[in-house]
Structure 1
């Protein structure tokens, strides 16, 4: 039986890439019965019914999967955040980073629309970028208008599956159009009333960019920590995780415990106060979550 990778899912059909050819497939009823949904990024075994159509018979083991966007086997998440329009949000970025870290996906922070910034904006964005670089993250500052930073992004895409994710209106589709001008992906202006963009991407699809596969995804409307326990959160903040090794008590949640090295690091400026505040906010959110049954 032929094998391939799902590169697009649309209206009940799955488009499987196999030996440089794309086959339109449906999922067998057994998937619905077992409550398993094929996802973009899945490695599958399929049966060919005719020259272009077939049925997916088996789904390979996944190394990870995301719910929003629905995609599997992601190597890297490119978190696209605009410097302005909409304004840069460390709270939203940290929420994305936690979910990406929890799913063992390498994050790359890409800050767009730098051409629209004032001198004060640029100073603030550069300060934040330095904080995230100090925490161990790769950060690129880009503009699709001036093409600054665009070529720096290309080497990060080679030979892996990357997902472009971020708030609506930050320029994900514009960034992909800059990387591959022939795509002509639809973009949309920011709503002056809402301060965010309209959803211009309606489905998940893997696109060949710079010898890698990149997923353009619908914008996110909500991000919840449904599967993350309080004890897991520490590992999703790299600088907090490293400093936690110096805490007096094992299993320290860096909240009310005495002789906490993380709290000391915040007080002396080693860890940015806003990162620690977001950790605290997320920890409380997880503690307040209704129990799962």
Structure 2
């Protein structure tokens, strides 16, 4: 059976590009496929990014017969085999939201993907330039790679494209931060729809309606719907601390195994916060997420 990659999922159809060796044959037409009923019986669902075996049917369409083993799997956004998460957060319009950025980082750490933080719209920074620079220093100190971009001036575009080469990447972030604008700058012929920002609400309209792999010349980007909320249902509360990089190393020296870093004596993380070795904002977000997860556990 021929092998291909699902590049788009929409309304119950999976659009498969044939593989030529290890490369996606982008010049080939999409093959519109349905998934065999066996997947539903098993509780499985094909995802964008999946390598699959498929057969052709008499009407020129196809059927997904087998999903090949995945290297990674994201639940939200639903993407398989991505190796890099690009988290886009704007300096302004909407304003930089570090709590939401930390929530994204928790999910990406849990999924085991590499992370690239991209601060967009530097051309609008104005008086917020210091806040953007402080955020860049904070996350670089933790160990994250941070790039600053402007789709208006072209700042950072080449650096982003270089990081995307040779892999499937996921673009995610708050609505209206410039995901589509950056992709249009990387691949002008895409002409993706962009949205104006509501100044009253401080957020943009969702312009991406479905998950789709985009060929950016040497790499593939899964442009995904914007999110304003993420939940922690797939993450255990005991795993939260390990999803904060700077906590993971310190927790080995906590007095008690399974320390929650909230009230225990001899907690190395709490000592580091007191000594300003760990950013107070990160610790406060950890406490907020911990309580949110405990509340959800009680409800479910």
Q: Which band: TM-score by shorter chain?
A: over 0.9
* Two-structure CA RMSD over aligned residues (Å): 1.5
- Partner Cα separation in structure 1 for residue 101 and residue 146 of structure 2: 12
- How many residue pairs are counted as aligned between the two chains? 292
Pick from 209, 214, 223 the counterpart of residue 216 of structure 1.
223
Corresponding residue for residue 41 of structure 2: 33
Conserved 8 A contact 1:155-1:210: no
- Partner Cα separation in structure 1 for residue 290 and residue 31 of structure 2: 45
Q: How does 1:1-293 map to 2 (within 5 A)?
A: 1-18=1-18, 19=20, 20=25, 21=28, 22-50=30-58, 52-118=60-126, 120-290=127-297
Shift of 1:52: 4.5
- Partner Cα separation in structure 2 for residue 180 and residue 273 of structure 1: 39
- Partner Cα separation in structure 2 for residue 79 and residue 219 of structure 1: 11
**Which segments of structure 1 move beyond 6 Å, counting only runs of 4 or more?**
none
Shift of 1:133: 0.4
Unpaired stretches in structure 2, ≥5 consecutive residues: none
- Partner Cα separation in structure 2 for residue 230 and residue 31 of structure 1: 31
Conserved 8 A contact 2:93-2:199: no
- Partner Cα separation in structure 2 for residue 292 and residue 181 of structure 1: 47
Compared CA separation, residues 151 and 72, structure 1 to 2 (3 A): same
Conserved 8 A contact 2:170-2:221: yes
Compared CA separation, residues 160 and 274, structure 1 to 2 (3 A): same
Deviates more, 1:144-153 or 1:41-50: 41-50
Conserved 8 A contact 2:82-2:170: yes
Tell me the TM-score normalised to structure 1 length. 0.95
- Partner Cα separation in structure 1 for residue 296 and residue 59 of structure 2: 50
Tell me the TM-score normalised to structure 2 length. 0.93
Shift of 1:228: 1.4
Shift of 1:291: 5.4
